[in-house]
A and B are shown apart, each in its own frame.
Chain A
């Protein structure tokens, strides 16, 4: 099958461009660990309030500037509603849902994950600048979805 020379060049350019993009995301994933949140830990959503550590949602200090935060998402709030950490802290968030689908997003940071009943989601972020960050549900969960927000205070 004969393909016009200009079209051959154009397609070679397109294939090369997609190959470069693929190489970039693959190298970033393998070398820098830049992979989307894909935790495979399941949980019984009907027993979230009795399942440690989600029976006591909140911030846990692991070491200086290293924290783990356990969140329960339910209509239409996050538990805990506010956490506070010093600037420069690396916080690993663990979130699960007690009812329907929710989202877990801190705008202007890389914190963004789906929260699904039956699973624990996890995402980590280092907060370098002080300020009050808005934490919002970004998946429709019902009539009060627009109210579902919490705060992360960085001192």
Chain B
């Protein structure tokens, strides 16, 4: 025990010396995410204007190519870089240890090479397959290889995060793991399980696009994609929740309401995120209605940790307010730091998530999905979720992370504050009109929805105009974020005590004891793997029994 304590002490000293390099690694992730968000937002704005019939994209840079780039950059690249950076940071900060940054940097570089490869292929027009890349649409092999490398890079980051957790548990027997490191580890275990499906899919698509195999099983690749596509959403959300639980309360002197229940919520997300993918395939032939019902039910289950999170966040508001002798609903709201962009980003995102969460329950509701499937409603839904709570939380956290990592004072903090409110307003306008257009039947993923002036299509136009207005407001907000993020670096105003610019909230003094069983992550990962297997083995078996068609690739663009 004494030996262990000495080791920790020695590690802490060396870690401080070593920390600068780790900060550069995290900063590289955050700035890459920032750049990608900027490019993605530009494409998003042009899409909004196209759909509102204000502009028509030229043939050399057509709508669908831009849509593919927007989807891949926003859903797969922006989010993944930020999350990998954030969880690397939460791990390095809370596990005092002498460490090498080689694994982390390798991961970052592999992700970057993969991103550049996939993005260049999309922009050259050789992968206009949208971010879901449904076969038999066949992209250039460079697209599949690039996307695979992006994911392979995240596995290095996951290894780094998980290995640090294991190191901590081994060197501190009987000691509870630090909460930020715990959240990082649980999310990365979930991510490893989630990405198995899409990597198996890539192992089918890559040789097929190279012409080495004559065909692929379309239904199987779709199911493998969605076994990844939904937990991908939880990858974003778990990172946003990690920030809500441990970072947001630090902005108003609050605490983590309950360490134990936070861990319960994360374990539930680990177990229930993967076996839900069929709710994206409710309208697919070749999948029995019973399997779809099962996935619908599990999707309802995965809503529960979100309800727990909502409670914990509001409880942390109230506990902090009461400690400052503030009581009552409106006074508690007024007590919160509405002039701090690190708070307003996530907090306004939480407001949007109320709409996003309930819309998600509608989408998951089995037969009800028919009314909204592949309509603009779905586009409204994922913008008010990934573009709401997720992006706003990542941007808000960046306003604290960039100063803490770079040692520079935040540039134009008032612009940063205005940026969060502007994003909120733009997203509210855009997603509301998208939802409404969807209920009127407007399809998603279509460059022009006038249908030669057909009756029925005309009612969608006003909503598309509003969506474009909202999209322009968001794009303006993104420009402001980029000015603040790059301005902080360029202006280079030294920030004293910069490491305290980003802090994790302490545990509430009255919080209950955390049972040690929550730290046994190997066991919980086993449950998650078993449940994912049980949820997918049936429908996959059913499909393989019914069809043997292997589709040749087609380039229809």
Interface positions of A (Cβ within 8 A of B): 1-4, 6-7, 10-11, 14-15, 18, 21-22, 25-26, 28-29, 34-42, 44-45, 75, 99-101, 103, 105, 107-108, 110, 112-122, 131-134, 136-146, 149
Contact = CB atoms under 8 A, between A and B. Distances in A.
A33 to B, nearest CB: 9
Given A40-B546, A134-B455, A138-B444, 9 more contacts: A11-B308, A14-B307, A105-B441, A105-B443, A107-B375, A107-B441, A108-B441, A114-B284, A139-B445
A112 B374 contact: yes
B93 to A, nearest CB: 28
B287 interface: yes
Contacts of A100: 134, 136-137, 554, 556
Contact of B64 (A25, A112, A131, A143): A143
Contacts of B445: 138-140, 145
Contact of A146 (B281, B282, B448, B455): B448
B447 A42 contact: no
Nearest to B318: A6
A105 B286 contact: no
Interface stretch (B34-42, B113-121, B296-304): B296-304
Size range of the chain B interface in the assembly = 35 or more
Contact of A36 (B369, B440, B451): B369
A107 B286 contact: no
B303 A18 contact: yes
A36 B456 contact: no
22 contacts: A2-B512, A7-B315, A14-B304, A22-B296, A29-B367, A35-B293, A38-B287, A99-B554, A100-B136, A107-B375, A110-B370, A112-B370, A112-B373, A115-B285, A116-B218, A116-B285, A118-B549, A132-B454, A132-B455, A133-B456, A136-B443, A142-B556
Nearest to B310: A10
Interface in B265-292: 281-289, 292
Interface of B: 62, 64, 128, 130, 134, 136-137, 218-219, 222, 258, 260-261, 281-289, 292-293, 296-297, 300-301, 303-304, 307-308, 311-312, 315, 361, 365-371, 373-375, 440-449, 451-452, 454-457, 512, 515, 542, 546-547, 549, 551, 554, 556-557
Contacts of B542: 40
A116 B64 contact: no
Nearest to B303: A18
A137 B451 CA distance: 11
Contacts of B368: 25
A139 B308 CA distance: 36
Contacts of B308: 7, 11
A72 B173 CA distance: 65
Contacts of B365: 21, 25
A140 B130 contact: yes
A144 B557 CA distance: 8
A121 B282 CA distance: 12
Given A1-B512, A36-B367, A119 B375 contact: no
Nearest to A101: B134
Nearest to A45: B549
Given A21-B365, A105-B443, A121 B285 contact: yes
Contacts of B455: 131-132, 134
Contacts of B512: 1-2
A41 B285 contact: yes
B449 A146 contact: yes
Contacts of B554: 99-100
A120 B549 CA distance: 13
Contact of A35 (B289, B374, B451, B551): B289
Contacts of A117: 136, 218, 549, 551
B549 A44 contact: yes
Contacts of A28: 367
A23 B411 CA distance: 53
Contacts of B301: 18
A138 B371 CA distance: 13
A131 to B, nearest CB: 8
B140 to A, nearest CB: 15
